[in-house]
Amino acid sequence: MTTGTTQYSCLIVEDSPMMRQLLVFALARVKNLRVTEADDGVDGLRKLASTKYDVIITDINMPIMDGLKLVKRVRTDPVHKDTPIMIITTEGSHEDRQRALSLGANAYITKPIQAPQVIAKVKELLKIEL
């Protein structure tokens, strides 16, 4: 690790390969951010079991375990309970947003997403200077 350079890690939990690629591509512009991909909530939890991430980005609508269940599980895990979580979803209703935030999500963005919006929010959650 180079001195003076903070390395960050991000877990993207998204069942759509196209959406995952879009997020990986956008986040490649954040310096020193290593991205790991998971294709559903269960895969995400498996990855969280072995690694601590600095930020988690998750979709809501996924097979097996949805993003809200994932947020709930992460918030009850002592290792990850304070990890910032950003939800990116097609669910744009006020109720969905409130539910996600009340479960412990730190940010909520509705699709379609713009790369600069995602980058800015990730930097804000990681407290990286913009």
Q: What is the pLDDT of residues 18-44, one digit of tens each?
A: 999 999 999 999 999 999 999 999 999
Domains identified in the chain, total number: 1
Kindly report, residue by residue over 64-118, the tens digit of the pLDDT: 899 999 999 999 999 999 999 999 998 888 999 999 999 999 999 998 889 999 9
CATH number where 18 lies: 3.40.50.2300
- Alpha-carbon distance of 67 to 57, in angstroms, equals 9
3-class DSSP state for residue 13?
A: strand
- Which range marks the domain in which residue 22 is found? 8-126
Using a cut of 0.95, tell me whether the model's pTM lies above it: no
- Which residues have CB under 8 Å from 112's CB, separation 6+? none
- Alpha-carbon distance of 27 to 119, in angstroms, equals 6
Residue 23 resides in a domain: yes
**Tokens matching residue 49:** 């079991």
